C-alpha cells in the first residue's frame, strides 16, 4: 500500500483487499464504505485463491476436512455423533476395502445372489463388461440392482445366462454286411 491511513489499517485485513487499494485513488483511504467494500471483495478473493490448495486436501481422505460428509455419503457410512475428524477419517479408511472395486468381489456376491457360478469378462466392447451366469435364474432383478449399484458410472454391462443340461444318451449303431455278386451276361 502506497498511502496508509489509520482507517485502512483497521478495516483492510484481507491480503487481496490490501492489493486492491493500491489500484484506486488515495481519496478512498478515508472512505469507510469504500474500505468495507474492498475488504468484502478481498475476503472473497482470498477464499478463491486458497480454494485450489484446499481442494487438493479434500480429495485425499487423510487430509479431508469439509469433504468428509461427502466421503461418508459416497461409502454409505454414518459416523457416531461427536466423532472427531480423525475418527471419521479412520472409519473411512477402514471401510475402503469393503468396496466392490474389482470384478472378483462382484462375482462372489453374484454367485451368492444367483446360486450359480458367475464370471465377469471385461472390455467385451468399449466401456462394457459381461456378466455370465452359468445357470438359469428366474428373476434377474436382484442381480441387475446389485450390478447397477456397484459398477462404475461410465461402464455398461450385458448379462448372459447358460444352463448346462447333462443327459446320458445311448446310441446304438449296427453294422450290416452284405455281399454283392456281379453277374455278367453275355448276349450273342
In 7-155, the DSSP E strands lie at: 117-125, 128-134
Q: What confidence tens digit (pLDDT) does each residue in 6-45 have?
A: 888 888 988 898 888 888 888 888 888 988 999 999 999 9
Residue 110: what pLDDT? 87
Contact 150, 106 (CB under 8 A): yes
Each residue of 25-62: b (16+ CB within 10 Å) or e? eeebbebeebbeebbeebeebeeeeeeeeeeeebeebe
Amino acid at each position: 500500500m502506497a498511502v496508509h491511513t489509520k482507517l485502512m489499517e483497521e478495516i483492510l485485513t484481507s491480503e487481496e483487499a490490501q492489493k486492491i487499494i493500491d489500484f484506486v485513488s488515495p481519496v478512498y483511504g478515508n472512505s469507510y464504505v469504500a474500505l468495507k467494500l474492498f475488504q468484502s471483495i478481498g475476503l472473497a478473493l482470498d477464499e478463491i485463491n486458497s480454494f485450489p490448495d484446499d481442494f487438493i486436501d479434500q480429495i485425499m481422505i487423510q487430509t479431508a476436512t469439509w469433504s468428509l460428509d461427502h466421503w461418508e455419503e459416497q461409502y454409505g457410512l454414518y459416523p457416531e455423533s461427536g466423532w472427531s475428524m480423525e475418527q471419521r477419517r479412520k472409519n473411512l479408511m477402514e471401510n475402503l476395502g469393503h468396496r466392490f472395486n474389482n470384478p472378483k468381489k462382484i462375482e462372489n456376491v453374484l454367485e451368492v445372489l444367483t446360486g450359480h457360478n458367475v464370471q465377469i469378462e471385461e472390455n467385451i466392447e468399449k466401456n462394457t463388461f459381461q456378466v455370465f451366469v452359468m445357470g438359469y435364474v428366474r428373476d434377474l432383478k436382484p442381480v441387475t440392482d446389485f450390478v447397477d449399484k456397484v459398477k462404475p458410472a461410465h461402464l455398461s454391462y450385458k448379462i448372459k445366462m447358460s444352463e448346462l443340461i447333462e443327459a446320458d444318451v445311448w446310441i446304438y449303431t449296427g453294422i450290416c454286411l452284405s455281399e454283392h455278386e456281379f453277374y455278367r451276361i453275355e448276349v450273342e
